[in-house]
Amino acid sequence: MIFKGTATALITPFTRDGVDLESFGRILDDQLAGGVDAVVVLGTTGEPATMTAEEKKSVIEFAVKKLKGKLPVIVGTGANSTAAAVEMSVLAEKLGADALLLVTPYYNKATQQGLIEHFGAVAEAVKLPIICYNVPGRTGVNMLPATFAELAKRYDNIAAIKEASGNMEQIEEAIRLSEGNAVVYSGDDGITVPVMAMGGMGVISVVSNAAPRFTSEMTSAFLAGDLKKAAKMQLEMLPLVRAMFCEVNPIPVKKAMQLRGLASGILRLPLTEMTAENAAKLEKLLPSFV
């Protein structure tokens, strides 16, 4: 298993000229201090769609070097071109990644058979464990539980799925069908504990960028058997979750990291600055969780 508990889907801090590796280092130190169980770089929250190949490489290399032996580094290598996903996955493996996060191919809208062949091509090209990433609200395609279960059965390194469909029944079915072959992680901060209650192994979290200790303590409480504490923390977190997703991710979380003094908050177009009204709400909520 790649991790149990909390993995943070990290932002990529930018300057006006490129990636801000100095700020990235501070963010990684904060994640270590917060007790998270893994980090994800170049996931959706990291804005890889607007980054150059060289920028992506620099982020992977920096995270791997800084966290080696301390935390698993999971690298987002998904693309809507299977060849590009294979190429990026092979590169991440060479650079020392511990695992891969592979989103379903977007825009092309592959069939379920297409998904099997796409993920299968990557699984055959690398030895690293792969986390499938199902987020139909962004990609326009939904990986069905039976499809994920088939992939996990066919390929030993299809190890998990980040389920961000928001459909609890579908998530439960993914857990049921893949049991013994792979694990399921929540891809939505608002339902982490419910997913874990049904057999999920944790969360790949956006909120834990800004609140790593709170999020990791919540999942750790659940794993330690303190369901009452975990449930209480999940309910306490809901207002922050709403604030973190009141605009398109990662707009709010980048504002939160700016408020914490860990990054500039700079976004790349077409993403734009958070509205003043929403930023004020976030600023009021955040101190209770850090």
Active site (catalytic) residues: 133, 162
Burial class, 270, CB count within 10 angstroms (exposed 0-12 / middle 13-18 / buried 19+): exposed
How many helices (DSSP H) and strands (DSSP E) are in the chain? Answer: 12, 8
* CA dist., res. 76 & res. 186, Å (int): 16
Render the burial of 167-188: b for 16+ CB within 10 Å, e for the rest.
eeebbbbbbebbeebbbbbbbb
Tokens matching residue 232 = 């209480």
For residue 199, which amino acid is it?
G
Tokens matching residue 49 = 């769609």
Residue showing tokens 């504990």: 193
